[in-house]
Structure 1
Amino acid sequence: MKIQNAFRVGLIGTLGVGLGVLILTSIVSLATIITYIGAALFLALGIEPLISFLERRKFPRWAALVVTLVVIIGAFVGLIWAIVPVAVGQATQLVQNSINWVNNGGAEKWFLSLQHQFPTIVNQQNIDAVTQWLQKNLPDITSKVLQTGIGIVQGAFGVIIVVILTIYFTASLPSIKRAAYQLVPASKRSRFADLGDQITDSVGKYVGGQVSLALVNGVLSAIFLTIIGAKFPILLASIAFFFSLIPLVGTITGSVIIVAVCFFSGPPTAIAAAIYYIVYMQVEAYVLSPRIMNRAVSVPGALVVVAALAGGTLLGILGALVAIPFAAAILLIIKQVVIPRQNEL
């Protein structure tokens, strides 16, 4: 090979590697924006079945879009209006009770009882060690608390961006789909469009199913916690609802938090709540979830677990949300494209 050809190959290879590094670096830098776009598109696909429902009843697209957004925003505002004042009041009461518990000597009595029961663990030497550790790491703890506050502000800003993008994607979803279908060769376009519509429909139904499960958990939690006399029932029911939106681990995580808070109402209340959520999780896993979710996506149980774990590891909560419909899309492609093609060989 001539020297100038080797130089040209080396130059082109170097430029290619540099371009690849630039693309990967750009993706990492834009990870937050990509997450916002993915969440907004996912929510837009979840809203689409409601718009399609109204379109089948002779609503124009724009009217169906307006009615759907008004209903969803109104329901969300109504939920916030009903829950937030009560939840804030109960959270304030929770903090005040904790302060009173400390000021009135309840914390000291609890600590002395703990020291009496576990003298080898709770002793002056260990207390001094913990105190020294806190004094040494106080600046780091303070900075982490400040970072947490900044993260909350950034999260609120991100929610606003996602809402705006969701409205935009919902309004322009048909044109986005048509533009994507135009990229496919004309001979395969109709088949690709059919698969694309089936996949987007399954995503929308999955979102609706997950919201339905969360509503069931939230309403039943509010009723049961009120009956057993637990403190802060509305706040705890809100926790149950929002955590149930997270597939696989959301319900159990919210249940653990609720049972822990129920200890403020006494051990019997916490035990009753623990028994209730154990029973409810069985009912949700074997009765509610199969009946609701099987109408949305047909994914084997083992694949649901694997997909949710993989998605959560890669993309956090958003990954856990999109993993199951993504797995359903892969299964749909395998059943309707790969297997028929293999049968023709």
Structure 2
Amino acid sequence: MKILNPFRLGLLGGLGVLVAVGIGQTIISLAVVLTYVGAAIFLALGLDPLVSWLESKKFPRWTAILTVLVGVLGVFAGLVFAIIPVLAEQIRTAARAIPRLVTGFFDGTIRESVETAFPWLDVEELLDGFTTWVTELDFTSIGGGVFAVGIGIATGITGAIIVLILTIYFVSSLNSIKSGFYRLVPATKRAKFIDLAEQVSTAVGRYVIGQASLALVNGVLSFIVLTWIFPAFGLPVKYSALLAFIAFVGSLIPLVGTLSGSIVITLLVLLFNGPPSVIAVAIYYLVYMQLEAYLLNPRIMSKAVKVPGAVVVIAVLAGGTLLGPLGALIAIPVAAAILLIVQQVIVPRQANL
């Protein structure tokens, strides 16, 4: 027995390690699916306060759910369709420009124009280098890259559809899912668990509504300013609907989303319009970011989640590293939930020891 006991211990330990590795591999394999489910639950918790508010206005639950889903889908459909005319126009412009470029390249028109505009430039050497680059170009790798981009776009669209379907299901059956989950908790601890879970659920829902409200304010103000106000002062801005959509999507990402979206919009205005429109747009977004940071954000998010600033930064960085933009989006309510659990469970337990 003295010989067999260490063997049995090692065997059981090795089997435990293999099981742990298998569980880890399974979780890694299901990472995309778990991300979809987490995003859908997050959105469902965000939409549930709207459903509850409509129920308080004497709406039947199914009518409240249908109203909220139709409203959300209508907003996103309108924003997406705002992009289609821009893309179509850009494709038509490129299709008209390419034949002229090819013709000008072969008849020497482009070369003469470049030599006239840049007399100091060695056009002959430039053309030789371009010809060599085209000759050595690996079109197979380019085709593979284009194919990979196409697969990525298709995967993103498919993921969005899956998240949408799961969100509809979770919103419509959120109460039954909660009650079924609560039954798994021992009866002696169920009341405390339900109270804590409802607080976390409320905090997540308020956070989603608050962040979406900030994004909607940014998008609507951007559309009004870029479409009507600036052109009225002789500062035209092309594709204002697309730029407003970028502002809306950027503001959905906490902490850095508004800044990133503002930089992208300013660069696009520089590309599409140039000065002086880009100067006016840059000044507007500098002013708006101050307005959002010191006025809108404190007022809208005051009842959502209360997380210290340092924890917000750490949570967003960690969430963004693990799950990308989605992780950054859900990091703050997750951090708020953890702080709530620590304050109401761990701290009282430690105080009673």
TM-score between both structures, scaled by the size of structure 2: 0.84
Instruction: Determine the structure 2 residue equivalent to 1:172.
Output: 173
Q: What is the Cα deviation at residue 219 of structure 1?
A: 1.3
Q: Could you report, residue by residue, the CA deviation over 1:17-70 in whole angstroms, capped at 9, with x for unpaired residues?
A: 111111111111111111111111111111110111122233333332223223
Instruction: Determine the structure 1 residue equivalent to 2:316.
Output: 308
Instruction: Determine the structure 2 residue equivalent to 1:250.
Output: 257
Identity, in percent, stands at 53
CA distance, structure 2, for counterparts of residue 204 and residue 94 of structure 1: 44
Q: What is the Cα deviation at residue 99 of structure 1?
A: 6.1
The letter of the residue matching 2:255 is L
Residues 1:17 and 1:108: Cα distance change in structure 2 (over 3 Å): farther
The letter of the residue matching 1:88 is L
The letter of the residue matching 1:59 is F
The letter of the residue matching 1:271 is I
The letter of the residue matching 1:2 is K
| Alignment gaps of 5+ in structure 1 | none
Instruction: Determine the structure 1 residue equivalent to 2:203.
Output: 202
Residues 1:107 and 1:336: Cα distance change in structure 2 (over 3 Å): farther
User: Which of 200, 205, 229 is the equivalent residue of 2:236?
Assistant: 229
Instruction: Determine the structure 2 residue equivalent to 1:337.
Output: 345
Q: What is the Cα deviation at residue 102 of structure 1?
A: 6.8
- Structure 2 residue 14 is the aligned partner of structure 1 residue 5: no
8 Å CA contact retained: 1:259, 1:273: yes
Q: What is the Cα deviation at residue 313 of structure 1?
A: 0.6
CA distance, structure 1, for counterparts of residue 185 and residue 131 of structure 2: 64
Report SS of the residue matched to 1:295: coil
Q: What is the Cα deviation at residue 265 of structure 1?
A: 0.8
Report SS of the residue matched to 1:188: helix
Residues 1:140 and 1:183: Cα distance change in structure 2 (over 3 Å): same
CA distance, structure 2, for counterparts of residue 129 and residue 68 of structure 1: 56
- Structure 2 residue 295 is the aligned partner of structure 1 residue 287: yes
CA distance, structure 1, for counterparts of residue 14 and residue 52 of structure 2: 50
8 Å CA contact retained: 1:90, 1:232: no
CA distance, structure 2, for counterparts of residue 258 and residue 334 of structure 1: 41
8 Å CA contact retained: 2:83, 2:241: no
Report SS of the residue matched to 1:267: coil
8 Å CA contact retained: 2:79, 2:245: no
Number of aligned residue pairs: 340
Report SS of the residue matched to 1:189: helix
Report SS of the residue matched to 2:248: helix
8 Å CA contact retained: 1:102, 1:108: no
| Alignment gaps of 5+ in structure 2 | none
- 24-33 or 56-65, which moves further after superposition? 56-65
Report SS of the residue matched to 1:52: helix
Alignment of 1:21-170 (within 5 A): 21-81=21-81, 83-89=82-88, 91-92=90-91, 95=94, 128=129, 132=133, 135=136, 139-170=140-171
Q: Could you report, residue by residue, the CA deviation over 1:284-332 in whole angstroms, capped at 9, with x for unpaired residues?
A: 1221111111221111222212111111011111110110001111222
CA distance, structure 2, for counterparts of residue 130 and residue 243 of structure 1: 41
The letter of the residue matching 1:74 is G
Q: What is the Cα deviation at residue 16 of structure 1?
A: 1.2
Q: What is the Cα deviation at residue 337 of structure 1?
A: 2.5
Q: Could you report, residue by residue, the CA deviation over 1:48-101 in whole angstroms, capped at 9, with x for unpaired residues?
A: 1011112223333333222322332334334445x2444434544775798699
CA distance, structure 1, for counterparts of residue 100 and residue 257 of structure 2: 30
- Structure 2 residue 252 is the aligned partner of structure 1 residue 241: no
Q: What is the Cα deviation at residue 129 of structure 1?
A: 9.5
Instruction: Determine the structure 1 residue equivalent to 2:281.
Output: 273
Q: Could you report, residue by residue, the CA deviation over 1:127-175 in whole angstroms, capped at 9, with x for unpaired residues?
A: 9499749945654343222201111011111111111111111122112
**RMSD across aligned positions (CA):** 3.3
Instruction: Determine the structure 1 residue equivalent to 2:331.
Output: 323
Residues 1:123 and 1:27: Cα distance change in structure 2 (over 3 Å): farther
CA distance, structure 1, for counterparts of residue 332 and residue 110 of structure 2: 47
CA distance, structure 1, for counterparts of residue 300 and residue 113 of structure 2: 49
Q: What is the Cα deviation at residue 106 of structure 1?
A: 10
Q: What is the Cα deviation at residue 199 of structure 1?
A: 0.6
Residues 1:152 and 1:85: Cα distance change in structure 2 (over 3 Å): closer
Structure showing greater Rg: 2
